[in-house]
Structure formats: C-alpha cells, structure tokens
Amino acid sequence: MSVSSIHHLAERRLTELGIALPAFPMPVANYVPFTISGNLLFISGQGPRTADEKYMTGKVGRDVTADEAYAHARLVGINLLSVVHHAQNGLSMVRRVVKLTGFVNASDDFRDHPKVINGCSDLLVEVFGDAGKHARSAVGVSSLPMNITVEIEAIFEIS
C-alpha cells in the first residue's frame, strides 16, 4: 500500500470512528514529545489524557477494571496520533507503526497487561490497517507519573 493510500485510509478511518485529535500534549518534565532519527519517529510516553486535559488515574486491578483500562489505552493511542500529526503536519508521512511499549499501573495480582495495551494496538490497526500492526511490549509497573493508569510510547516509520 502506498504512503498516499495509508494517509487517506488513516484520515478516513479517524473520521469514520468519530475521532478528533486533541491539542498537542506538552511534556510534563524536561524532555521533548518526539524525536526523528532517519526514517523513524519516536514518540515519548503518553498518558490517558482527555480533550479537557483530565488524566485517567488509578491502579488497574484495584481501582480500575481491565475493560476501563483498555479504554484508557485507546485514549493514549489517540494522544499518540496527536503527537504524530503535530510532528509530521498530518498523518501522510506515516508508513507503518513499528513498536509500542506499554506500561500498566497495576495491582500486584493483576495479570492482564496485554489486554489493557490492546486498547491502543486495536486503535492503531483500525486507523492504519495492516500498516498499524506492530511489535509490542506490555509491562506491569507499581506506579506511573500522576498515578495515571497507562503510559505508552511508540515508534513510527515515516517517509
């Protein structure tokens, strides 16, 4: 599939899914939201931030269910796409999603980390089709900044 075809598919799918990309998220510490090296776009970890800049918080498996956290990870995917859109002035330069690393703020007995991160993975495949399929890690952690439920970083191939 050509880059142009992926762009048109991605833009059309966002519209079909009723997704409007939120404002570009600003870093909460001393780092940049993205870097480009060669044909790779590295997106810093994003959290589940709503359009009104509220973060979804809590410990998955105790305060938040796996299904709720799945929705939070989907929200993180939307925020990742917002950074991509800002970094590339749209989605037209995305060739494929290469890798996601997802962190779940989980209780000690929670075991469904992959199910949670599927929220982001499923969104990226919905938006980019086969070019959205990616390598991935899903890791449970004892805490995340601001007690957010999920943080995900991503690598995209661009042209």
Query: Where are the domains positioned within the chain?
Result: 3-18+32-158
Res 8 pLDDT > 90? no
Mean pLDDT, rounded, for 31-40: 96
Q: Which residues of 13-36 are buried (b: 16+ CB within 10 A; e: fewer)?
A: bbeeeebebbeebeeeeeeebbee
- Say yes or no to pLDDT of 1 above 80: no
Q: What is the homologous superfamily of the domain 3-18+32-158 according to CATH?
A: RutC-like (3.30.1330.40)
pLDDT above 70 (res 72): yes
* Per-residue CA distances from 159 to 2, 28, 37, 59 (Å): 11, 29, 11, 38
Task: Report strand pairing: 135-141 vs 94-105.
Answer: parallel
Secondary structure of residue 60 in the 3-state scheme: strand
Q: Which helix (H) or strand (E) holds 118?
A: helix 113-128
Query: Is 9 within 8 Å of 129 (Cβ atoms)?
Result: yes
Instruction: Give 21 or 4, the one with higher predicted confidence.
Output: 21
Structure tokens at 107: 């209780």
Averaged pLDDT of the chain: 93
